[in-house]
A = this chain, B = another copy of it.
Amino acid sequence: MTVAKKVRGFISQSSWIRKMFEEGNVLKKQYGSDNVYDFSLGNPSVEPPVEFKKTLMQIAGEDSSGIHGYMSNAGFLDTRKAVAEFIGREHDVPLSADHVIMTCGAAGALNILFKVFLDPGDEVIIPTPCFMEYRFYVDNANGIATFVKSKADFSLDITAIGNAITERTKILLINSPNNPTGKVYDEASIRELNELLEDRKKAYGRDIYLVSDEPYRDIVYDNTKVPSILKAYRNSVTASSYSKSLSLAGERIGYLAVNPEMTDIEEIVRGLILYNRTLGFVNAPALMQRVIARIQGVKVDVEEYRRKKEILCNGLSSIGYQFIKPEGTFYLFPKTPINDDIEFVRALQKKRILTVPGSGFGWPGYFRIAFCVDDATIINAMAGFEETFKECSQ
Give A contacts to B, CB under 8 Å.
1-8, 10-11, 14-15, 18, 22, 25, 41, 43-45, 47-48, 53, 56-57, 60-61, 65-66, 68-73, 104-105, 107-112, 115-119, 122, 133, 136-137, 140-142, 207, 209, 247-252, 263-264, 267-268, 270-271, 274-275, 277-288
Q: Is the CB of B252 within 8 A of A285?
A: yes
Q: Is the CB of A69 within 8 A of B264?
A: no
Partner of A277, one of B2, B5, B18, B284: B18
Residues of B within 8 A of A72 (CB): 22, 25
Partner of A264, one of B2, B66, B263: B2
Q: A116-B7, A117-B4, A249-B70 are in contact. Are A14 and B274 (CB under 8 A)?
A: yes
With both beta carbons as reference points, the residue of chain B lying nearest to A290 in the complex is identified as B250
A270 to B283, CA, bound (A): 26
Q: A133-B277, A267-B8 are in contact. Are A251 and B110 (CB under 8 A)?
A: no
A248 to B53, CA, bound (A): 21
Report A116 CB to chain B, min CB distance, Å: 5
Residues of B within 8 A of A70 (CB): 41, 43, 249-250
A277 to B107, CA, bound (A): 9
Report A367 CB to chain B, min CB distance, Å: 20
Q: Is the CB of A271 within 8 A of B7?
A: yes
Residues of B within 8 A of A18 (CB): 73, 277
A251 to B281, CA, bound (A): 10
Extra inter-chain contacts (17) besides given A7-B274, A68-B247, A107-B281, CB under 8 Å:
A2-B117, A2-B263, A2-B268, A7-B267, A10-B271, A14-B274, A15-B277, A43-B69, A43-B70, A45-B65, A57-B60, A111-B280, A115-B140, A140-B140, A250-B287, A252-B281, A285-B285
- Copies of this chain present in the complex amount to 2
Q: Is the CB of B107 within 8 A of A282?
A: yes
With both beta carbons as reference points, the residue of chain B lying nearest to A374 in the complex is identified as B65
Q: Is the CB of A69 within 8 A of B247?
A: yes
Report A348 CB to chain B, min CB distance, Å: 21
16 residue pairs A–B, Cβ–Cβ below 8 Å? A1-B264, A2-B117, A3-B267, A4-B119, A6-B119, A7-B267, A18-B277, A68-B250, A69-B248, A71-B250, A136-B278, A251-B286, A251-B287, A252-B283, A279-B280, A287-B287
With both beta carbons as reference points, the residue of chain B lying nearest to A207 in the complex is identified as B2
Residues of B within 8 A of A278 (CB): 10, 133, 136-137, 140
Residues of B within 8 A of A118 (CB): 4
Q: Is the CB of B277 within 8 A of A280?
A: no
Q: Is the CB of B3 within 8 A of A264?
A: yes
A207 to B2, CA, bound (A): 8
Residues of B within 8 A of A283 (CB): 250, 252
